[in-house]
Structures are given as C-alpha cells and as structure tokens.
Chains A and B, each alone.
Chain A
Amino acid sequence: MDYIIEMLNITKTFPGIIANDSVNLLVKKGEIHALLGENGAGKSTLMSILFGMYQPDKGEIKINGQPVKIKDPNDANRLGIGMVHQHFKLVGNFSVLENIVLGAEDTKMGVLQLKEAREKVMELSTQYRLMVDPDSKIDDITVGMQQRVEILKMIYRDNDILIFDEPTAVLTPQEIEELIKIMRKLAQEGKSIIFITHKLNEIKQVADRCTILRKGKYIDTVDVSKTTAEEMSEMMVGRKVQLQVSKEDANPGEAVLSVKDLCLKTNKNAQKNKLNNVTFDVKKGEILCIAGIDGNGQTELAYALSGIMPISSGTVTLNGEDISKASIRSRSVKGISHIPQDRHKDGLVLEYSLEENLILQEYFTPKFQKKGLLQFDKIRENATKLIEQFDIRSGQGPITTVRSMSGGNQQKAIIAREITKDPDLLIAVQPTRGLDVGAIEYIHSKIVEQRDNGKAVLLISLELDEVMNLSDRILVIYEGEIVGEFDPKQVDVKELGLYMAGSKKMEVK
C-alpha cells in the first residue's frame, strides 16, 4: 500500500521543549487518519510542519513517495495540502467570500473576478451543506460558521490532503454530525484527511487509523476498528482515565445570581433582541447549565452577566445586590469569574508571558501590587503554583509567551486563573474546549469542587456530553429565550435536542 503522506523522523525543538521528537506519520490515500495526544503533545506543531509554517530540525517528508521540501504554506497549497487551523486564520473585517478567495483570487487584467468565485462558493456550499452566507462579515458570524468558512476555503482550492486541527472543539453536536458526514464524503472522493481531536468517540466514528503522540514522542499507529477508546486514551495519557465525572447530588442553597427579564440588543436598530426576557437563578452549590445550539444568545448572555455588553432592560442581581449597571471590574471584584468562549479574543493577552496572563484579573489587588508597583516575586510564585496545580505545559514555564503555547494549555491557563480567584459565581463558557481527556477529567473535578464548596456555577456549553455529565439543572436556550428547564437525570439527549432546535418549548418561570 502506498502512502500519500510520509513524515519520517520529524524533530522540532522550541526554546525549552522538544515539540516533536522523531515522529512518524504515514497516511494512506483516501483514509481519515486521526492524530491523538495530550495538550502540548505536538500535534499542531507536526501539522504546521506539514503545512510549511515551521521547518523541521530533522526528518523527511514525502508526498506520493516523492521527497519534498515545504518551505511555506504556498508550497503546501501547490502540493494540494490545506489546513483548518486550531485558531482560525480569517480576516475579521472581510466578508466570507473575500476570505475564501483570499490568496487564490481570480483576476482578469488585474480586476478581481468575484462573480465566478461566488458561484463556485455557493455551489460548493450547497454541495457539502455548509450553509455559509458569502456576504456576512467574519466578525459577525459564529465560530461554527467561521469554521465552515475555513473548510470551504480548502475545498475551494481543490486541496486533496486536508488537515483538520481540532475542528470539532467549537461545534455543536449537530454540527459535528454534519462535519463527520462531510469528512466521509470527502474521503470517498479520494481526499486524504488528517483529523485532530480530543474526542475519542469521534475517532471511533470516522477515523480509519489513529497515530498517538505523547509529550512529543511517537507512541503508535493503531487500527481504529480494532482498538477501544479506553486503550487509545491510555496510550495517549499513559494511565487510565475516568471519562465519567463522579459527583454527589447537589445541595443547592439560596440564589447567588438572579436574572430577571433580561433583554439585550446588540445594536440599537436591530429588530430582534439577542436575549429576550431571560429569567433564571443560579443557586449556591449548584451547577446550572445553559444548553443550546451555538448562536442562540449564549455568548451575549455571558457578556451581559460579566458586564462586557450593556443590557437593554431587566435586572441582574448578585448576592442580593443589583449589578445591572455595574462595571466589568466591579462585578469581577464582587465575585464573578468568567471563562470566555473565545480564548484568543477575550481571555488572553497573547504577547504577554504566562505569568502575566495569570494575573490578568487580579494584578491590581494587594496580592500582586504595592503602591502601583507590580510585585514580581509574588507573580512568579503564583504562576509556579498554578502551573504545577493545573499542569499547564509550556516551553519555558512562567516566562513563556502565551502565543507560543498549545491551544489546550492556553485554555488551562485561563481556567486556572478564573477558578483560583475563588468566585461566588463562575461563568464558564465552553470551559473544556480543546482540552484532552486527562485535562477534562481534572477541570470537571475542579468545577464540581467549586460547587461543593458552596459556590454557584453557570456552565454554558454546546457539548451535550458535558451538559449531561456535569450539570445539576439544565436550561435550554433557543433564539435568545429560555425554552425549557430539566433535571439531567430525567431527560435524555434526544429530548434536549428537540428543545435546542426549537421544535419543542415549555413555559419556564
């Protein structure tokens, strides 16, 4: 059997760390090949090498048996390699269409031929059921939609080797179903796919073979149909992982957060409210989960509660105090922590070091400053502690620039910072997005611990597994309204799905 991609003995070092240590990756034509490994295991690095963004220190790459040198993404493109990055690389203030053709523009005598491009994009969009609106601005569309734009971008370029770096981390279950169908279709058409994911069930579902990395080293390539999910996770983490959260029943106390008739419009002239008469409480010692399909107001809800977006009407009360008009800072000081949905947009200053990012919410407190001067020894101490406790992996520890860290470890940094603030209310939006199974296990246990200490947790998640697993109570949000309230023990995923899709609705008080 011939391989379409052969990456042999690839080694890549970064300051302080060997990201890839003699790694092999052999992909057959027309297969879906999963790449599995813990956060920071070197998956993205390996793919960036294949895509020409990094040069390997050592090793060889062959495409269709021919040794090649891939100096930059243009080279990769010429070889038919396309990549959907873990953190998308789209131009925010360009339209969807412009982003898709960017770099592969059709011009006639120097004039951009957008009309034909638009036809091709629309055709592909319907063919693969991607449902993108070519004229929306990237900044205005959901992450799920942005991702579909990235996929369309690859298909538009007729790439036949497709790299998906954690595509499902940001998608809803329905969208994942769709994506998996798309991937199958692409593979049937003879395209070869490398698929990075932390979700083992997805690997079981679509992948033919799976290569496992651990701490930069190649562990094995296995036949997916002959290996169980447990075996794979054990190979990747090096120990047995408990995939189910163990927790006692909740013991809810009085309300920490009360939201009453909250309405929000993103701009004054918008016809519809993004959030419409939302009313709910989050009580001490409970994990309340907001389930819903992406883009139904979850982002706005988190922004409204943390103060990033002003609300149009209604009240928000924290511990009995009206904070509807309070500033972001004062809400934070009064006891709200917020793990934002988009870690790069909101959660991190990528140019800052890890230790600087770990104090982003508390740099002004006496813990870290005296008379306006930062206390660097305290900052270092804090970082060292959190790195150890939350197993944040990076090349150079506290002084690592966050931009250079792996996606999952960036996420762990945010979670570490927000949880250790010890808030009365933790708003967690997609907190385990992009984390490996071991890290998820740990973070989930931390969230439960937070609850058991009598704190309130508002979990906003697109992942039904997480919702069912972690929550004590579920609210479903649809088009900015709460359309259902459930006890996770008495509802199944199917039923929830009906509410999330808007086909069922109940009166919630």
Chain B
Amino acid sequence: MQKKTSNLHAKFNAFVSTEGFKSFASSIMAIIFGLAVGFVMLIFANSKYAFDGLIALLTGGFADGMKSLGNVFYLATPIIMTGLSVGFAFKTGLFNIGGSGQYLVGAFVGIYISATWTFIPSSVLWIVALAGSALAGALWAFVPGLLKATRNVNEVITAIMMNYIGVYLVNHLIPLSPIYDSTRNQTVPPRSYIPRAGLDLIFPDSSISASILIAIACVVIVYIVLNKTTFGYELKACGYNQNAGKYAGINEKKCIILSMVIAGALSGLAGGLAHLANTGKYISVVDVLPQDGFDGIAVALLGLSNPGGIFLAGTFIAYLRQGGFFMQRYGYVTEVINIIIATIIYCSAFSAAFKNILTKIKSKKNNKEQKKVAGEEK
C-alpha cells in the first residue's frame, strides 16, 4: 500500500517537473499576479465596488451563458491569430512587432475584396477575401524579412516603420477607393461574410462565426509545422543558431524571410477574420495602429509562444474583455476598465519570469529533500 502511494507520489513529482506543467503553472501564477494588481487598481478607481467589479470581470464571460461565451470566442479570434504570428516568429528567432500594420493592411484588403469583387459569387468571396488579407499581411512582413536576411537590418525597426507606412497608406487609400463611407469617415460593410457554420445554434445571439474554427485550424497547423516537420526544424535551427543552420546546408536567408512572411500572413489573416465576421466592424480613417496587433505580443508572452498556450491566452484575454463589459454596471468607465485589463495582460506577460522562479524553487526543494535523505543515512 505504502509502496503504491510513494509510486503515485513519484509519478506526480515527475509530472510536476515536466516542461509542460511548469509552463502552465507559471502562466497561471502570472495571471493571478496580474489579477491581484488589477484588483488594487480597482480599489484606487472606486473602492466601494472593487470586489463586485472584480467578480463581474471574472464572471462576465459567462454572464449570459452561451451567448457571452460565443462573444468571448469572437473577441479571441483576432488576438489568437496575432499571438500566433508573434509566437511563430519568436520560435524562429525573430521578433515580429509589425503585427499591427500587417493586421491593418490585411483588414483593408479583405474588406476591399469582399466589397468590390462582385464578379465572384458571394458564397465563396469571403474565402478569396481572407486569402487577400493573408497575402497583404505576408507582403508587409516580407519587407522586414528581406532586409534582415540580405542587409542584416534589425527586423524590429523595419517592422515598426512598416506599421506606420501601413496606417498612413490605408488611411490614404480608403477615401480614394469605392469602399469609403464618407459621411461616417469609415469603410463600408463587406458584401460577403464568414459563415456562421452552425455555431450560432450552440452560441445563440452571439457574434461567433467560423472565424474561430479557422483560428483553431491555424493553431493546429502552426503547432504541426513547428514541431513535426522538417520545415519547422530548419526554421528553428536557423533561429537558434544561424551559423549552425548555414553549416547544415539550410538556406538561412530563405528561413528568415519565410518566417516573417508566415508570421505576417497570420496577422493579416487576423485582420480579415475580425472584419469579415458580420459584426459591423469597420476601419475608421484615424491615425491609430490597431490594438489587436500589439495584443498579440502579450498573448504570445502569456502563452510562452506555444500554439496551445497562445490559444488559451487569447481566449483568456478575450474573456476578460467580455467581463470588462459588465463592469460598467458598477460605474467603471470604459477607460478604467481598459487600463485594468491592460494591467492584467501586462503582468501576465511575466509568465516567463515565473517559470524561472518555479524552476528555482523546485531545485531548492530537491536540495532540501536530498539533505534530509542524507541526514537520515547518517
């Protein structure tokens, strides 16, 4: 009997020391830390309803049952995609800070195609439009990739420049194009939407569509590419050690460019998925970079760049956004809510730091146990 429990104990210990568990636990710790800081901020903003506000934030995602949950997935879709984009680039040794620009040009091209390419039947037009989004994002990331590969220009700088080029170009193009609604200074609605694929039956009255399924498919594909294919093996090898990649006969320049292009396509697709979901989302002509691109960085950090982790992280942040909605009941203005959510996201991004702490604690504990055992021996 005792043997059995100690066996279980050993198994549990082995599980607890796996990389996967450590990653998960550290993300959870980071989230709890973020929530604690967020709670403190709530107290500062309005101490009377701080607790109610926190409850609303945490339960809002379920407040209206399946409807809220459906909206959570709707909100999660673009940030999962931009998170994947950042995470994918990161795993291959690049930092894609250009998600915002890629997202915006993706959104623009998606709307443009779906609103103007009337020669394609509207039942399949959305597919073409999404492909256009992905291509546009890919193109936007191709430039930093090319410059990095051939001229060794840091991709962070060029990607930020591409972000601004994206904003100003889109703002310039919209008024010139047939998709401009001049009275509202924004884009017209698309003509073809991503179908709901029956999800509206499970999540009635929500904004959910097949977008989330596409996002999930991307999560799975990115996971497979990174971990199971020779292509992913090459990309990661070059990301970790460019010289070794070259030595092994891998075309390291091609790897850098392809990594960026794929990351860009994911962000571009994010823009398309967000704007073709039949929720009335539009691009307004203002000189602001879309938030979803930057959220991707937080999502990737919280998810430790693992596709599965990114899915959970994106869903979690969307869940908070949905919950934040309900905080208005307690008199919190949207700005405050946004600050609090941002704080939580910001703190959650420390999950890598928590992972280190966890490893340290674990090794300390091991030491102690060994000391104990050694003591008993004596």
User: CB-defined interface of A361-382 with B at 8 Å, one 1/0 digit per residue?
Assistant: 1011000110011100000000
Which residues of A lie under 8 Å from residue B237 when comparing CB positions? Answer: 349, 352, 360
Assuming the A-B contacts A13-B370, A349-B237, are A374 and B247 also in contact, with contact meaning beta carbons closer than 8 angstroms in the complex?
no
Which residues of A lie under 8 Å from residue B366 when comparing CB positions? Answer: 13, 57
B229 at the interface (CB under 8 A from A): yes
User: Shortest beta-carbon distance, A425 to chain B, in Å?
Assistant: 15
What DSSP secondary structure best describes chain B's contact surface? helix
Residue pairs across A and B with Cβ atoms less than 8 A apart, 19 shown, are A13-B366, A55-B367, A58-B374, A329-B249, A329-B251, A340-B247, A345-B243, A349-B237, A349-B245, A351-B241, A352-B237, A352-B240, A363-B233, A368-B230, A369-B230, A373-B228, A374-B229, A374-B230, A374-B233
Which residues of A lie under 8 Å from residue B251 when comparing CB positions? Answer: 329
The answer to whether A351 and B240 touch across the interface, beta carbons within 8 angstroms, is yes
B48 at the interface (CB under 8 A from A): no
The answer to whether A58 and B370 touch across the interface, beta carbons within 8 angstroms, is yes
Which of A327, A360, A361, A368 has its CB near the most chain B CB atoms (within 10 A)? A360
A189 at the interface (CB under 8 A from B): no
A369 to B241, CA, bound (A): 22
Query: A residues engaging B (CB < 8 A)?
Result: 11, 13, 55, 57-58, 306, 308, 327-333, 338, 340, 345-352, 356, 360-361, 363-364, 368-369, 372-374
Given contacts A328-B249, A338-B247, A349-B240, 12 further A-B contacts (CB under 8 A): A13-B370, A57-B367, A329-B251, A348-B241, A349-B241, A356-B233, A360-B237, A363-B230, A363-B233, A364-B230, A372-B229, A374-B229
Which single residue of chain A is at the shortest CB-CB distance from B233? A363
The answer to whether B370 and A308 touch across the interface, beta carbons within 8 angstroms, is no
Which residues of B lie under 8 Å from residue A347 when comparing CB positions? Answer: 244, 247
User: Shortest beta-carbon distance, A57 to chain B, in Å?
Assistant: 5
Which residues of A lie under 8 Å from residue B240 when comparing CB positions? Answer: 349-352
User: Shortest beta-carbon distance, B308 to chain A, in Å?
Assistant: 19
Q: How many A-B residue pairs have CB under 8 A?
A: 76
A46 to B374, CA, bound (A): 20
A331 to B229, CA, bound (A): 23
A452 to B244, CA, bound (A): 30
A348 to B248, CA, bound (A): 9
User: Shortest beta-carbon distance, A266 to chain B, in Å?
Assistant: 15
Which residues of B lie under 8 Å from residue A11 when comparing CB positions? Answer: 370
Within B78-130, which residues are at the interface with A (CB < 8 Å)?
none
The answer to whether B241 and A57 touch across the interface, beta carbons within 8 angstroms, is no
User: Shortest beta-carbon distance, B223 to chain A, in Å?
Assistant: 13
Within B190-246, which residues are at the interface with A (CB < 8 Å)?
228-231, 233-234, 236-237, 240-241, 243-246
A340 to B249, CA, bound (A): 13
Pick from B229, B245, B248, B250: contact of A373, CB below 8 A. Answer: B229
A22 to B240, CA, bound (A): 36
The answer to whether A361 and B249 touch across the interface, beta carbons within 8 angstroms, is yes
Assuming the A-B contacts A58-B371, A346-B243, A349-B241, are A361 and B231 also in contact, with contact meaning beta carbons closer than 8 angstroms in the complex?
no
A346 to B251, CA, bound (A): 14
Which residues of A lie under 8 Å from residue B231 when comparing CB positions? Answer: 372
Which residues of B lie under 8 Å from residue A332 when comparing CB positions? Answer: 248-249
A373 to B231, CA, bound (A): 8
The answer to whether A360 and B244 touch across the interface, beta carbons within 8 angstroms, is yes
User: Shortest beta-carbon distance, B113 to chain A, in Å?
Assistant: 31
Which residues of A lie under 8 Å from residue B370 when comparing CB positions? Answer: 11, 13, 57-58
The answer to whether B246 and A328 touch across the interface, beta carbons within 8 angstroms, is yes
User: Shortest beta-carbon distance, A339 to chain B, in Å?
Assistant: 11
Which residues of B lie under 8 Å from residue A330 when comparing CB positions? Answer: 249
Which residues of B lie under 8 Å from residue A373 when comparing CB positions? Answer: 228-230
A363 to B370, CA, bound (A): 41
Which single residue of chain B is at the shortest CB-CB distance from A357? B244
A360 to B370, CA, bound (A): 38
A28 to B129, CA, bound (A): 77
Which residues of B lie under 8 Å from residue A327 when comparing CB positions? Answer: 249
The answer to whether A328 and B229 touch across the interface, beta carbons within 8 angstroms, is no
Assuming the A-B contacts A58-B370, A327-B249, A332-B249, are A346 and B244 also in contact, with contact meaning beta carbons closer than 8 angstroms in the complex?
yes
A36 to B248, CA, bound (A): 34
Which of A333, A349, A350, A351 has its CB near the most chain B CB atoms (within 10 A)? A349
Which residues of A lie under 8 Å from residue B249 when comparing CB positions? Answer: 327-333, 361
User: Shortest beta-carbon distance, B101 to chain A, in Å?
Assistant: 30
The answer to whether B247 and A346 touch across the interface, beta carbons within 8 angstroms, is yes
Pick from A360, A369, A372: contact of B248, CB below 8 A. Answer: A360
Which residues of A lie under 8 Å from residue B228 when comparing CB positions? Answer: 373-374
User: CB-defined interface of B332-354 with A at 8 Å, one 1/0 digit per residue?
Assistant: 00000000000000000000000
Which residues of B lie under 8 Å from residue A57 when comparing CB positions? Answer: 366-367, 370-371
Which residues of B lie under 8 Å from residue A329 when comparing CB positions? Answer: 249-251
A283 to B229, CA, bound (A): 38
Which residues of A lie under 8 Å from residue B244 when comparing CB positions? Answer: 345-349, 360
Which residues of A lie under 8 Å from residue B246 when comparing CB positions? Answer: 308, 328, 346
